[in-house]
Chain A
Amino acid sequence: MSNIKNLTVDTQVQDSDAARLAKVFANNDVTLVDATPKTPHYRDGKKTLHIAPKKGEVLDKCATMNKKYSCCNVHVLKSVSNCPYDCSYCFLQNYLNNGTMSVVGDIDAMITEIKEKLAAAPGRQFRIGTWELGDSLALENETGQASALIKEFAKLDNGILELRTKSDIVDPILNLDHQKRTVVSWSMNPESVIRQYEFKTASFDKRMIAIKKVVDAGYLLGFHFDPMMLFDNWESEYPDVIRQLFEIVPPEQIAWFSLGSLRFNPEMKKKMEGNFPKTVLTRPEMVLGDDGKVRYVKPLRVEMYKKMVEAIREFGDDKVLIYLCMERWDMWDKVLGWHPDSIDHLDYLFAASLHDRFGLGNTPILTDYTSAS
């Protein structure tokens, strides 16, 4: 609770496990409230942790999904809002209306909604992440939310939970019965990038120690090299991260790698420069894409992704699923030599990979995916 100055709990969830755990961490110094406290600035909001009730639907599709790009069709559980970390490229700087850091305490209500959604399409394997508006594990010591979700997902037939983090907070989840239905993912970057742009997150070494613990606990793992950054030594530092990962993670335990490059909407540029006056992230040559975001020029992105794919093949194996985030089909062709036929097709390929490599779910049928949308 070092960075959290205030803890508030909505009266509707004051008896939830998350509220109870948070109270222990705060030595009972908790304020009961009837609504989420308002914090205009996202950074000020990081000092308050609010345990909130579930309001409306919390299961949705990834907000960045865009039909002009080959998206992975992951679903997101809006269970966290804002994050104790302070990455200079984070889109939350320009996104949150209320900066108060909040965690949904109603695990049962969230699981009920998830079960209803999954039951409506029993032939599909749903990947559900909790990282859209925050870090999946950063507040685990205070709230225990991820642990509760892991236990619930272990009982589901067609749902995979993806926790995505830049933290090293894994101890609370190590002894849980996860049934391989949770993929613990790390957002990865070389140490130089972490130090320069991912403030307050776990260092590279700490992440590696946490990764090893999660490997030993038998979880499946995912690695997201997104956003990749261009900097002087990127060509050696990124492959070196891959090399170090494969030294401690067996390829058979890696569910997927994703690759994506730094991108942000033009409006966010000034926010980043205002919030991080020394940042150099906004300086490189960038182009505006059809999704309204600027990104590095395509030939540079091709080069970056190719380098990573080569490293994954060299240090790991060729069975690990690699996908590109927010890139077009022709980028897939250039980097991977193939492209999915559609977003639904890629969703199916995820299910096929989870089934074939890890025995998760029934044999997927393509039409279960393509006929749904």
Chain B
Amino acid sequence: MKLQQISIKNINEKTYNFKSALSGCFSCPLALKESIRQFGILSPLLLSKDGALVDGFFRLSIAKELGLSELPVIYLPETVSIPIFLLHLYADVFVQNKVKRAQFISFLINDLKMSRAEVMDNVFPVLKLGKADKILRESLKIAELPLGVRTFAFEKQFSHKQLVLLTQYSPLVMTQVLDLQGQLHLTAASFLEYVEWIADDLKTNEISLETFMSLDFMRVIVTSYDPVYHKTALFKQEMYTRRNPLLSKLNLALTETLNGISVDKDIQIKWDRTLENKYVDLSFRTVSGDDYQSKIQQLNYKDTHAGIGKILDAL
């Protein structure tokens, strides 16, 4: 393999440009541009035997931007399998990031026309995947997620399992939730949760996404200048009520029962809000013997007994 200087026009950058297929997941480092501006291209680009660029896409784009006409290149021998070469070049990245891994698998099958069997036999072992047809199928679906979702999932380091979950939701709902970033606090887990909540809501109430977004609380979330934590709390509260209408109603009734009891506010009376468990938790903090005596007396009031009994009966 010898170093050569060739015209930039003779470089075919389309065939193996999986980085553009992974758009949003790779970004050109600024330092590289500055380095090339000052010192030129120090490490040669790698080309396949027929002149297709295999490695050096950022260097090429910077060279074009800077108006360079010739570049140092090395042609890989014909015996080198380019997909496998690329795989080894980026194996660490693919093992760590499941979005890139999925997109690379999709690139091999859809762009380079490798067969599924070839991918499972030659690529999966390097990615430590075993020969799992299921992962291959799932990866192809992950690669089809909307670009914004893929980018978000890449940034938030979604697990493969989380990505598979995403493939089951409507792209519209996912994109809508992404649009709420800035209004709602979004993590990997909360993104998945909110997508599921909204998708379920649309099905349960048989409404369109547009109708959902025009609900009063969603309008407040989208248009108000309240802090993000406040809007996130509002969203969670409203969605809980919509998802759990009966529980919300019953818990409200129990809270009203509790409000009828005349005990100090620092005597905590709690119950399981799912209503699955029949118990009431009582707790208080005391600061003196007299205070203790007073609280015990309050717990022995008839209306306290009756109120707690009512809650337990309801449970």
Contacts and interface: CB of A to CB of B under 8 A. Distances in A.
Interface string B163-203: 00100100000000000000000000000000000001001
B133 A40 contact: yes
A274 B165 CA distance: 11
Interface centre among A285, A287, A298, A299 (most CB of B within 10 A): A298
Interface string A299-337: 110000000000000000000000000001010000000
Given A40-B133, A40-B134, A270-B165, A285 B276 contact: no
Contact of B204 (A283, A290, A298, A330): A283
B281 to A, nearest CB: 16
B275 interface: yes
Contact of A273 (B133, B168, B243, B245): B168
Interface residues of A, number: 18
B239 interface: no
Contacts of B168: 270, 273-274
B276 A300 contact: no
Contact of B274 (A40, A280, A287): A287
B33 to A, nearest CB: 44
Contact of A283 (B200, B246, B247): B200
Contacts of B165: 270
A289 interface: yes
B200 A285 contact: no
Contacts of A274: 168
A1 interface: no
Contacts of A290: 276-277
| Interface size band for B | 10 to 19
A270 B167 CA distance: 11
Interface string B132-169: 01100000000000000000000000000000010010
B278 interface: yes
Contacts of B203: 280, 283
A210 B10 CA distance: 79
B146 to A, nearest CB: 19
Interface string A261-283: 00000000010011000001011
A173 B260 CA distance: 63
Contact of A289 (B245, B247, B276, B278): B276
B268 interface: no
B276 A287 contact: yes
Interface centre among B244, B245, B247, B276 (most CB of A within 10 A): B276
Given A283-B204, A285-B246, A298 B133 contact: no
A299 B243 contact: no
A289 B276 CA distance: 7
B315 A330 contact: yes
A310 to B, nearest CB: 20
A274 B278 CA distance: 35
7 contacts: A285-B243, A287-B274, A287-B275, A287-B276, A289-B274, A290-B276, A298-B274
Given A40-B133, A298-B315, A299-B250, 13 more contacts: A270-B165, A270-B168, A274-B168, A283-B203, A285-B243, A285-B244, A285-B245, A285-B246, A287-B244, A287-B274, A287-B275, A289-B276, A330-B315
